Amino acid sequence: MDKTLEVIEKLKDYPDRELIFMYPEEGSDHYYTLGQPSKVLVDEYVTIDGTVYLKGDEDVAETLADGIADELFSYENFPLSEEQNKEVDEKLEKVIAELDWKKAIVVYIQPK
């Protein structure tokens, strides 16, 4: 399906969701560049320290798990034992559930 039509369909199917655009951060001398939709997702997102994470991605779990492990254990305990990893995972589940996830239609933009 044409990606523009897919965006239109998602907007019709999910009118309660915010429409956000993800694009590569490439340095440019121009304020705007021409682009087109390359991927369309229905997901949820959160912004942590200026970085946008999608609920469907593993990046947020990896990032938060690292912080939780650092918070719970000293560097002498690394690598973590199986029991320590379980403790990190349990806290991670709680932290992820408590984040302020926002429902969105996510459109990835590919520069032309």
pLDDT of 12 above 90: yes
Domain holding 96, by residue range, is: 3-111
Number of structural domains found in the chain: 1
pLDDT digits (tens, 9 = 90+) for 66-112: 889 988 888 777 888 899 999 999 999 999 999 999 999 999 999 88
**pLDDT tens for each residue of 47-67:** 998 899 999 888 899 889 988
Q: 92-101 — which CB contacts under 8 Å span 24+ positions?
A: 92/61, 92/64, 92/65, 92/68, 95/64, 95/68, 96/60, 96/61, 96/64, 99/46, 99/48, 100/46, 101/44, 101/45, 101/46, 101/55
